[in-house]
Amino acid sequence: MSTSPSIGPWRRAGLAICLGLAIVAPGAAEAAAKPYMEETPGRGFHLLIRPREKAPAAQWAHVQALDAAGRTRAAAKQALALRIWWPNAEEAPAAQLYYARRLDERGKLQAAFDAYQHLVDRYPGRFEFNEVLERQMRLAKTLMDRRKGRFLFLPGFAAPERAIPLFEKIVASAPEGAFAAEAYVLIGAAHERAYAYDEAIDAYFTALNRYPDSPFAAQAAFAQARCHVELSEDAPNDGRALAEAIAACTLFLQRHPETEPRGEIESSLARLRDRQAAAAFARARYYDRILHKPESARIEYRRFLALFPDAPQAAEARDRIAQLTPEEK
């Protein structure tokens, strides 16, 4: 006795389509009626840090209970666990801020700064931004001044360049914020204390030109001029460095005539101009005494007098011009 083959699921579907019937999988109608909602925030994982509770709200309550009991280190660890295991939870920013503050209180400068930076990078708009930036500025300043390598009676050594990446992150987080101009000045100061004068000048220049109305503008202009003077004195035969130092000092005196370090810049400028005059006179003497080119020497002596009429060498220059000028017959 022959039996007809059973109709498979795909064949039944085709038959239903031909007959105009709708096929709905079991439970599909109920699923289509309810919009998808994530019941629990996405979870992270850490091998060494585990939360005490099984949900972020309960975990945050546990952190607060530990804090109220004075167990701040345990509370900080559990706050970190909350942020790691439930990074998208509503309680995660508050937990991260709590963790950063506890590191801050313990003097963990770099770790605290990084913990605050995680807030800035991961949770914008979900914490008090200016307060965090202010705390980061304080940490960066402290790191800039703190000595490293202390041992017994040895004071250790300063390493201000360690703070430069921190100030750069503050500027990147809020380039038009309240701390940007000061951060650039401190970047320059850190480079200057490490004798990296070119990098310091770049930072001071940025502070001076990007934030000209900032209360740190005069400080940046003064420091920029000081660095140019240092570079010029390190390379006494570099005419370009000398001219840039004179220009920086002149610009400072023009823009900030009433500031306190005016006297120091005026003294530096007078010294630089004396050097510039001596170099110009030496160039004229080179054409005169070494190359024996009287016409070129006269041109250089006259140029020297036009630029430095009151220089100590002015009288000798006038005498040489008269001696090198041919008499008219």
CATH code of the domain in which 98 resides: 1.25.40.10
Residues 71 and 79: their CA atoms lie apart, in Å, by 12
Residue 261 has a pLDDT of: 83
140 close to 170: Cβ distance less than 8 angstroms:
yes
Q: Are residues 241 and 285 in the same domain?
A: no
How far is CA 302 from its chain centroid?
48
Structure pTM? 0.78
Domain that holds residue 188: 157-260
- Looking at this protein, which amino acid is placed at residue 39? E
Q: Does residue 250 sit in the same domain as residue 280?
A: no
Do 182 and 229 belong to one domain? Answer: yes
Hey, what's the torsion of the CAs at 163, 167, 168, 174, to 10 degrees? 160
**Total residues belonging to the chain:** 329
Q: Which residues pair with 154 in a beta bridge?
A: 151
The answer to whether 242 and 272 have CB atoms below 8 angstroms apart is yes
**164 lies in some domain:** yes
Q: Which of 78, 110, 127 is the last residue of a domain?
A: 127
Among the residue ranges 62-71, 141-150, 203-212, the one predicted with the least confidence is 141-150
Q: How many Cβ atoms sit within 10 Å of the Cβ of residue 197?
A: 20
End residue of a domain, out of 127, 142, 177: 127
Partners of 147 in the beta sheet?
158
Q: Does 224 share its domain with 308?
A: no
- Alpha carbon distance 48, 90 (integer Å): 23
201 and 234 housed in the same domain: yes
pLDDT at residue 257, as a whole number = 86
Distance CA 28, CA 44 (A): 31
* Torsion over CA: 25, 30, 34, 39 (sign): negative
In this model, does residue 37 exceed pLDDT 50? no
Which tens digit of pLDDT belongs to each residue from 89-129?
A: 999 999 999 999 999 999 999 999 999 999 999 999 999 99
Q: Can you tell me the distance from the alpha carbon of 91 to that of 97, in angstroms, rounded to the nearest whole number? A: 10
- As given in the structure block, the two tokens for residue 133 are 């930036």
Judge if 183 and 228 occupy the same domain: yes
287 and 250 housed in the same domain: no
Give the number of domains in the chain: 3
Q: Are 237 and 280 contained in the same domain? A: no
Q: What are phi and psi of 303, to 5 degrees?
A: -65, -40
Question: What pLDDT was estimated at residue 326?
Answer: 83
Does residue 289 sit in the same domain as residue 240? no
